[in-house]
Amino acid sequence: MRGMTFAEKVLSRASGRQASPGDIVNARIDMAMSHENSLLVMKAFGEMGASKIWDSSKVTILFDHRIPANTVKTAEGHKAIREFVRGAGLPNFYDMGEGICHQVMPEKGLTLPGTLIVGTDSHTTTYGAFGAFATGIGATEMAAVWATGELWLRVPETLRVRMNGTLSNRVSPKDAILHIIGDIGADGADYACVEFSGESVDSMSVAGRMVLSNMSTEMGAKAGVVFPDGKTNEWLSLRTKKKWEVVSSDSSAAVKDIFEYEMSDMGPQVARPHRVDDVVPIEEVEGRPIDQAFIGSCTNGRMEDLQAAREVLRGRKISESLRLIIAPASRETYLDALENGVLADLVRSGAVIINPGCGPCLGAHQGLLAQGERCISTTNRNFKGRMGSPDAEIYLASPATVAASALRGEITDPREV
């Protein structure tokens, strides 16, 4: 008998029927996350004539995109959301200061294996690193989720990505996923659930796996999952007392495609402007002068990313020709990096540390780019105009590559510094 994929199992359980690829199912949602766009959700919720949230324990709201408020309009939005949260009595609310939704949600134990999570943010796929089926949705349909606890979803086909071999020194999960996106393409996984596996994935930390799931949306994936193991269980057990049931994927299940990659001989990778899938080995772009370097975001703002940057900088000063901005992903990361001295070292090397949050990634504030400037960034999108002026260039790379580039003031291979 044919087995079932992870997506089929989770969506069958959530919809109470046999869910096969292409079917449209009405699924019950286990967790619903929104950030500042809760304002749009609230508006639609009210206009629909809804008044009561279906299950307040299953809704999470936090601020991360524009914190502290960058404009009066943002401040008004924050204020309105705080009032709504108080009125609705929502227990899972995190005001500015906690950090980026995709780091805070797992830290608070809200991304359990086998659950169905939706969020009004495209990088909601990050929670797939914990074995959840997690996907981004829009604000108006989130209002319907708040009202009913249900959402229609098309059951996705599955793509398997096997990553063989272990990553070499100063080559990170970010390099691996950039390479894969460059190969599969920005729409190569459209509407699909991507299952990551293989020796490279097994040997990655939980933080590294979050990079894979996070970036899977950049190839169009609906979800990107890594199946839980001892590391996942240990990570989550430290953060929640709740129980969970791991959902796996059957090897006999029908999948749309299988991609295999040999990772052990791959070097650092860079995505060139203005496409995430325009990925080249670092040798092709080395030496290009840089004006700004950024380390942070839901992709690469975790402890191992900050440590990778410190390890490359090793007490040396960054080039005077550029500025280095660093945003720890969450309060937890920030505190740990303060206490273990990583942030002090980075500041001594010349970095400017900003508060946990999305920061300059989406071009709202905290370090926008001027016309003609070039930025190298650990973030997830290098679209034209994304981080400021539409006439600026964004290169995407790993934390080690960004730190090495900051050291020299030009795109630099981290294995050479």
Partner 1 sequence: MIEGRVWKYGDHVNTDLIIPGRYLDDYDLRSLAAHVMEDLDPSFSKKVRHGDVVVAGRNFGCGSSREQAPVALKHAGVSAVVAGSFARIFYRNAINVGLPVIVCPEAASRLVDGDIVVIDVEEGVLVRPSSHIRIEFKPLPGFLLEILNDGGLVPHMKKRCLK
Query: Residue 149 gets which letter from DSSP?
Result: S
CB nearer to partner 1: pick between 124 and 300: 124
Distance CA 403, CA 78 (A): 34
- CB closer to partner 1 out of 386 and 408: 386
Decide whether 137 or 337 has the Cβ nearer to partner 1. 137
**Region binding partner 1 by CB under 8 A among candidate stretches 82-90, 102-110, 296-304, 386-394:** 386-394
Question: Residue 195: how many CA atoms within 13 Å on its side-chain side?
Answer: 25
CA distances from 305 to 50, 51, 70 (A): 43, 43, 26
**Binding to partner 1 in span 75-94, by CB under 8 A:** 77
> Where would I find the beta strands (DSSP E) of 217-285?
223-226, 257-262, 269-271, 279-281
DSSP string, 174-218: HHHHHHHHHHH-TTTTTTPEEEEESHHHHHS-HHHHHHHHHHGGG
Q: Which part of the chain contacts partner 1 (CB under 8 A), choosing from 144-152, 225-233, 302-310, 408-416? A: 144-152
- Does 357 bind partner 1 (CB under 8 A)? Our answer is no
Q: Please, are residues 4 and 12 in contact by the beta-carbon 8 Å criterion?
A: yes
Choices 5-13, 183-191, 205-213, 288-296; region in contact with partner 1 by CB under 8 A: 183-191
**DSSP state string for 5-45:** -HHHHHHHHHHTS---TT-EEEEE-SEEEE-TTHHHHHHHH
- Per DSSP, the three-state class of 289 is strand
- 189: Cα separation from own chain's centroid: 17
220 vs 301, beta carbon nearer partner 1: 220
Binding flag, residue 40, partner 1 (CB under 8 A): yes
Interface residue with partner 1, options 48, 88, 246, 417 (CB under 8 A): 48
Task: Report the residue number, 187 or 416, with the smaller CB distance to partner 1.
Answer: 187
CB of 212 to partner 1, least distance (A): 19
- Residue 297-326 contact track with partner 1, rule CB under 8 A, x = bound: ------------------------------
Q: Is 24 in the site for partner 1 (CB under 8 A)?
A: yes
Residue 92 belongs to what H/E stretch?
A: strand 92-94
Asked if residue 286 binds partner 1 (CB under 8 A), the reply is no
Could you give the CA distance from residue 336 to residue 99 in angstroms, rounded to a whole number?
Answer: 14
Query: Segment contacting partner 1 (CB under 8 A): 63-71, 81-89, 204-212, 243-251?
Result: 63-71
Nearer to partner 1 by Cβ, of 120 and 319: the residue is 120
Candidates 5, 38, 60, 74; binder of partner 1 (CB under 8 A) is 74
Please name which of 107, 93, 114, 109 lies closest in space to residue 241, comparing C-alpha atoms: 109
Q: By CB under 8 A, is residue 388 in contact with partner 1?
A: yes
Task: Closer to partner 1 by CB, 12 or 124: give it.
Answer: 124
DSSP 400: H
Give the number of other CB atoms < 10 A from CB of residue 18. Answer: 12
Give the binding range for partner 1 (CB under 8 A) out of 100-108, 286-294, 318-326, 377-385: 377-385
- What Rg do the C-alpha atoms of the chain give, in angstroms? 21
Pairing mode, strands 116-119 and 133-136: parallel
Give the pair of three-digit tokens for residue 197. Answer: 């596996």
Cβ closer to partner 1: 181 or 263? Answer: 181
384 near partner 1, judged by CB under 8 A: yes
Residue 20 binds to partner 1 (criterion: CB under 8 A): no
Q: Which stretch binds partner 1 (CB under 8 A): 52-60, 85-93, 114-122, 280-288?
A: 114-122
- Residue 37 interacting with partner 1 (CB under 8 A): yes
What CA–CA distance (Å, rounded) separates 403 from 243? 40
Say whether residue 71 binds partner 1 (CB under 8 A).
yes
Least distance to partner 1, CB of residue 220, Å: 6
**Residues engaged in binding partner 1 (CB under 8 A):** 24, 37, 39-40, 44, 47-50, 66, 70-71, 73-74, 77, 119-122, 124, 136-141, 143-144, 147, 152, 186-187, 190-191, 220, 222, 275, 362-364, 368, 381, 383-386, 388, 390
